[in-house]
Amino acid sequence: MEIKTVKGFKDILGEEATLFEEIENKAKSVAQSFGYQPIILPTVEQSELFDRSIGNTTDIVEKEMFTFEDKGGRILALRPEMTASVARSFIEHHLETSALPLKIYYFGQCFRYENPQKGRYREFYQFGIEAIGDISPVLDVEVIQVAFEILRHLGIKDLKVKLNSIGCRTCRPNYKNLLIEALKIHYDELCNDCKKRLYKNPLRILDCKKESQELKESLPKMVDYLCTDCRTHFEKVKTILTQLGIPFECDPNLVRGLDYYSKTVFEVVSLELGAQNALLGGGRYDYLIEDLGGRSTPGVGFAMGIERLIEVLKKRNYTVNKLPKVYIVYDQQFITFANEIREIISKEYVVELDPKGDNIKKGVERASKRGALLVFIIGENEANNNAITIKNMKSGKQITVKREEMLKSAKELIEDD
Ligand code: AMP
């Protein structure tokens, strides 16, 4: 039987892999430019970490975790997201003693046992940032700003923030009760999942795709029941977003699928993406570190799905800026000379050395197949005169120049075209 990739897992090849790296590089460099530093975390954690952070009544923990017992009898899980791991690491390494806010970014794969479909896989990659240790609404906006900046660097312009506040321990319990009372009246209309959620996690009903818009609009809204602290925070976030010219829209039904959020929650959407249109999501998590046993420390961050971003970039025909390719064709006896040339020009070009070194004509044919813009030819004449013949594969124009002149001449040959 042929061995293939496992359901929900996939290889990332060719152009897609190039796009993948482009996103990774751009995201990291934007985050660095805002003062964020890398953190590298393990893929496997104690399963309990996610029960206690994401919440054991969420879909992720209830249905989608890759959980297993190792040979030592430990109950482990492949991480379904990375914020919980960041919080665990923060506590474990006493990072509260470092200069706060701690600003970090991560990149890595996450696992969720979901039904695979376009933009949804069982293994997917997330890039995310976290600002931990400061309650200021400026940081809520900063993480949104970093997200926007990354997407702008990738040429995506039709973006909008969907924003909500889901309150805190002071105001949410009261709202939850009001919501349950309002939902009880509509119990028969609810889908089977929401019937189960009614008492355990009623907020999730607000973003259930199966419930009617009419029903949702008739329900009480968290934003109308925020305590003074949460309301002030939310107003400040909105004011700063407006001041910085970041387009947003308040969505009272946005609650996000993880239990650890408090106050600000947001998603950034692209109008080009269809059903799975959230490119990234995030929010505040002021109780997460405390709930995991650490000292009470607020935090805010976002996570961005790389696969969905690749879909958007493909739709937009995004092209990665690549250096032009030079292909060196040479007579086998001059391989040392050819390699010296490769070393010199590799600072400005992608350079491939012909693997055969047998026949100049055949070598030039291979250069064409491999998409070279220029071919550097080193035959007997060239080697004896410390010279190179450079051919532009597009125009067919060819010149022989001294070795010291080769970089300048190569540039001219490209520009002349
Ligand atoms: P979440 O951790 O659920 O807030 O998701 C953050 C981002 O990760 C989403 O906006 C998606 O872009 C991405 N994401 C979540 N689940 C999947 C999945 N199963 N496959 C691919 N991307 C995903």
* Ligand 1 centroid to residue 241 C-alpha, Å: 24
Residue with tokens 């990739």: 5
Cross-strand pairs, 107: 127
Answer whether residue 348 shows pLDDT above 60: yes
Determine the pLDDT at residue 273. 62
Determine the pLDDT at residue 209. 85
- Listed in sequence order, the residues at least 6 apart from 76 whose beta carbon sits closer than 8 Å to its beta carbon are 44, 45, 46, 47, 67, 68, 69, 70
Residue with tokens 């430990």: 74
Determine the pLDDT at residue 157. 79
- Listed in sequence order, the residues at least 6 apart from 356 whose beta carbon sits closer than 8 Å to its beta carbon are 362, 363, 366
Q: What is the DSSP letter of 331?
A: -
Could you give the C-alpha distances from 254 to 153, 221, 275, in angstroms and in order?
Answer: 27, 10, 15
Q: How confident is the model at residue 346 (pLDDT cuts 50, 70, 90)?
A: very high
- Cα–Cα distance for residue pair 145/159, rounded to 1 Å: 12
* Ligand 1 centroid to residue 121 C-alpha, Å: 9
Determine the pLDDT at residue 241. 97
Determine the pLDDT at residue 110. 98
Determine the pLDDT at residue 90. 98
Which conformational region is residue 379 in: left (phi greater than 0), alpha (psi within -120 to 50 degrees), or beta? beta
- Cα–Cα distance for residue pair 252/224, rounded to 1 Å: 9
Query: Rounded mean pLDDT of the chain?
Result: 94
| HSE-CB of 203 using CA atoms within 13 angstroms | 25
- End-to-end, the C-alpha distance of the chain in Å comes to 52
Q: Which CATH fold topology does 14-171+226-315 show? A: BirA Bifunctional Protein; domain 2 (3.30.930)
* Ligand 1 centroid to residue 177 C-alpha, Å: 29
Mean pLDDT of the region 309-336: 93
Q: Ligand 1: which of 308, 310, 313 to mutate, judged by most atoms within 8 Å of the beta carbon? A: 308
* Ligand 1 centroid to residue 62 C-alpha, Å: 16
Mean pLDDT of the region 274-296: 88
Answer whether residue 339 shows pLDDT above 60: yes
Q: Ligand 1: which of 53, 120, 261, 265 to mutate, judged by most atoms within 8 Å of the beta carbon? A: 120
Which conformational region is residue 240 in: left (phi greater than 0), alpha (psi within -120 to 50 degrees), or beta? alpha
Determine if ligand 1 sits within 6 Å of the CB of residue 305.
yes
Pick the CATH number of 325-415 from 1.10.3720.10, 3.40.50.800, 3.30.300.90, 1.10.10.10: 3.40.50.800
Closest atom of ligand 1 to 81 CA is 2
The 10s digit of each residue's pLDDT in 224-245 is 999 999 999 999 999 999 999 9
Mean pLDDT of the region 341-370: 95
* % of the chain beyond a pLDDT of 90: 84
In 10 A of CB 158, how many CB atoms?
13
- Cα–Cα distance for residue pair 297/135, rounded to 1 Å: 9
* CA 128, chain centre distance (Å): 6
Answer whether residue 208 shows pLDDT above 80: yes
Q: How confident is the model at residue 136 (pLDDT cuts 50, 70, 90)?
A: very high
Residue nearest to atom 12 of ligand 1 (CA): 305
- Cα–Cα distance for residue pair 61/80, rounded to 1 Å: 8
Residue closest to 132 by CA, chosen among 79, 94, 170: 94
Q: Do domains 14-171+226-315 and 325-415 have the same CATH topology?
A: no
Residue nearest to atom 20 of ligand 1 (CA): 120
The 10s digit of each residue's pLDDT in 84-120 is 999 999 999 999 999 999 999 999 999 999 999 887 8
Cross-strand pairs, 160: 269
Q: Name, of 42-46, 60-64, 156-160, the range with top average pLDDT.
A: 42-46
Length of the chain: 417
Answer whether residue 36 shows pLDDT above 60: yes
Q: How confident is the model at residue 310 (pLDDT cuts 50, 70, 90)?
A: very high
Mean pLDDT of the region 333-347: 95
Determine if ligand 1 sits within 6 Å of the CB of residue 223.
no
Determine the pLDDT at residue 302. 98
Residues 61/55, Cβ–Cβ less than 8 Å: yes
Question: Where are the chain's structural domains?
Answer: 14-171+226-315, 325-415
Determine the pLDDT at residue 59. 84
* % of the chain beyond a pLDDT of 70: 99
- Cα–Cα distance for residue pair 157/361, rounded to 1 Å: 47
Report cis status (omega within 30 of 0) of the bond before 101. Answer: yes
Which conformational region is residue 400 in: left (phi greater than 0), alpha (psi within -120 to 50 degrees), or beta? beta
Q: Decide: residue 188, CB within 10 A, 0-12 exposed, 13-18 middle, 19+ buried.
A: exposed
Q: What is the DSSP letter of 346?
A: T
Determine if ligand 1 sits within 6 Å of the CB of residue 294.
no
| HSE-CB of 20 using CA atoms within 13 angstroms | 14
